[in-house]
């Protein structure tokens, strides 16, 4: 299949969650009815695939593009995921209520479901209500034994760190980090292409089916990095126009923040595609054969073999690549 590379825009795959709401409507998406917690913006997973909305490949799923064009379009490193699929999963999350207290395994955990990877991820806070917070890690000195006792005695919250958040905050969450988004935040999430989550606690609430959601206490206790996972957080209001500010570096992705104010000439790397998330504002992505409109909430896959492209307008952009 011979197709000239161009920036791919996707229709999200939306997921109803007990903690979801309607905030993703603010981006102009056709959000289905219900408590919509997740928009899988760029997805190639058995549990959800996003489909192209523009250009010659419109209507195709990312899985189909991978099968037909992956080697040349994804790059020499971007085509390597560990399970044959697109290496990243890009989401927007609307947290109308608190998420479960959870942790993700690494790639080497024996209990991983067949075909699944571990899950290292990061969050960029797009919006936060006053007094919004998240759960981010264990308190100092908490080990497996003390955490297991706290869970058994119904006082797990005493072991967890609460962190206030505002728009623009970034959190890097390596596998093994106990975490939870809380009510009142909308975030962009960049992660390994995995849907493996172990729940430690879910506030004794029913799921969408009216039944308690499954907990995974033993798996969680097994995969937590009690001595520290390498989690980092930062404020990003220091980002400057026309410069990339690195937010997170992992073996799976490197994510930068950039401010577009006018025209900014860029280029892909032969090693990896670029994923662009428009955090706010509006503009366009120009390339040799045309341009595509970009607005807040849009996510684009820029093929590795596109080469030169430009960002124009007034907008905040997150760029993610697979490290070379």
Write out the catalytic residue numbers.
Answer: 199
- Which residue has tokens 């935040």? 185
Structure token digits, residue 260: 């577009």
How far are the Cα atoms of 17, 78, 193, 253 from residue 324, in angstroms, in the given order? 35, 9, 18, 10
Q: Any idea what the Cα angle at residue 185 is, between residues 125 and 316, rounded to 5°?
A: 30
Report how far residue 278's alpha carbon sits from residue 300's, in angstroms, rounded to the nearest whole number.
Answer: 9
Helix ranges (H only) for 5-159 are 62-74, 144-152
**Strand bridging mode 88-95 / 36-42:** antiparallel
> Quick check: helix, strand or coil at residue 228?
coil
N-to-C CA span, the chain: 26
227 annotated ligand-binding residue = no
Is 216 marked as a binding-site residue? Answer: no
Task: Encode 158-171: b = buried (16+ Cβ within 10 Å), e = exposed.
Answer: ebbeeeebebbbbb
Contact call for residues 296 and 235 (beta carbons, < 8 A): no
CB-CB contact of 286 with 310 (8 Å): yes
* Residue 104 annotated as part of some ligand binding site: yes
> What is the rounded CA–CA span in Å between residue 209 and residue 21?
17
Contact (Cβ atoms closer than 8 angstroms) between residue 48 and residue 15: yes
Residues of the binding site for Zn(2+): 104, 121, 179
Residues of the binding site: 104, 121, 179
């Amino acid at each position: 299949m011979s197709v000239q590379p161009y920036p791919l825009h996707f229709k999200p795959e939306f997921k109803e969650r007990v903690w979801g709401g309607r905030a993703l409507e603010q981006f102009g998406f056709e959000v289905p009815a219900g408590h919509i917690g997740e928009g899988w913006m760029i997805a190639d997973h058995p549990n959800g695939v996003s489909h192209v909305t523009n250009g010659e490949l419109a209507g195709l799923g990312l899985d189909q593009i991978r099968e037909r064009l992956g080697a040349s379009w994804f790059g020499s490193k971007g085509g390597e995921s560990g399970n044959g699929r697109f290496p990243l999963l890009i989401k927007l999350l609307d947290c109308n209520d608190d998420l479960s207290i959870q942790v993700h395994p690494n790639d080497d955990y024996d209990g991983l479901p067949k075909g699944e990877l571990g899950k290292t991820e990061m969050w960029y806070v797009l919006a936060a209500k006053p007094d919004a917070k998240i759960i981010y890690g264990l308190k100092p000195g908490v080990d497996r034994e003390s955490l297991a006792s706290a869970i058994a005695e119904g006082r797990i919250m005493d072991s967890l760190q609460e962190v206030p958040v505002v728009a623009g905050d970034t959190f890097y969450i390596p596998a093994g980090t106990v975490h939870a988004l809380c009510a009142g935040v909308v975030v962009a999430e960049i992660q390994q292409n995995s849907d493996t989550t172990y729940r430690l606690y879910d506030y004794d609430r029913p799921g969408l089916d009216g039944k308690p959601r499954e907990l995974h206490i033993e798996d969680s206790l097994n995969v937590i990095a009690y001595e520290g996972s390498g989690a980092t957080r930062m404020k990003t209001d220091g980002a400057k126009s026309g410069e990339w500010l690195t937010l997170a570096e992992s073996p799976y992705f490197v994510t930068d923040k950039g401010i577009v104010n006018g025209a900014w000439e860029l280029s892909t790397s032969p090693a990896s595609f670029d994923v662009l998330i428009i955090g706010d504002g509006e503009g366009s992505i120009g390339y040799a054969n045309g341009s595509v409109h970009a607005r807040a909430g849009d996510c684009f896959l820029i093929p590795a073999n596109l080469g030169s492209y430009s960002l124009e307008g007034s907008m905040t952009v997150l760029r993610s690549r697979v490290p070379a």
